Amino acid sequence: MHELSIAMNIIDIAGEYAEKANAKVVHRIEIEVGELSGVVFEALEFAMENAKKNTILEKTECSIIRIPGKVHCENCSYEFDTDNVYTPCPKCGDYRQEIIQGRELRVKSLTVE
Ligand SMILES: [Zn+2]
């Protein structure tokens, strides 16, 4: 499962950070995930709940922030919002698009003590 390995990776990053900051408790972690990153949000939430067991993040509240997808049409230069890359351009119907926003997958912040 793709999302589980992402979740474990996020927990590794957060764990290293917490260690460096000498944190005893991590209250909250914010993760930014783009709608065009290929990650299934519900699956990632579920994977985080499982992956954080027996780690420093066991009691941490995870919030996943969705970054909307935005693409640029390579044919007519129109920019539009979309949640998948298989949407044709609403202006000209072309499928060739460049992703401007929505590929994000990163730890945005940790609240530690
Ligand atoms: Zn277009």
pLDDT band for position 90 (50/70/90)? very high
Q: Where are the beta strands (DSSP E) in the chain?
A: 26-34, 61-67, 70-73, 79-81, 97-101, 105-112
Cα 91 to middle of ligand 1, angstroms: 5
| Phi and psi at residue 36, to the nearest 5° | -105, 15
Domain CATH code at residue 60: 3.30.2320.80
Cα 72 to middle of ligand 1, angstroms: 8
Q: Are 107 and 10 in contact (CB under 8 A)?
A: yes
**What pLDDT does 1 receive?**
55
Q: What radius of gyration, in Å, describes the C-alpha atoms of the chain? A: 17
pLDDT band for position 113 (50/70/90)? confident
Mean pLDDT of the chain: 93
* Total domains present in the chain: 1
pLDDT above 70 coverage of the chain, percent: 99
Cα 79 to middle of ligand 1, angstroms: 8
Cα 90 to middle of ligand 1, angstroms: 7
Please give all residues whose CB falls under 5 A of ion ligand 1, grouped by chain where several chains appear.
Answer: 73, 75-76, 78, 89, 91-92, 94
Structural domain boundaries, residue 101: 2-112
Nearest Cα residue to 39 out of 104, 85, 95: 104
- Per-residue pLDDT averaged across 19-34, rounded? 93
Q: Are 69 and 83 in contact (CB under 8 A)?
A: yes
CA angle 87, 32, 11 (to 5 degrees): 130
How far is Cα 93 from Cα 64, in angstroms, rounded to an integer? 32
pLDDT above 90 coverage of the chain, percent: 86
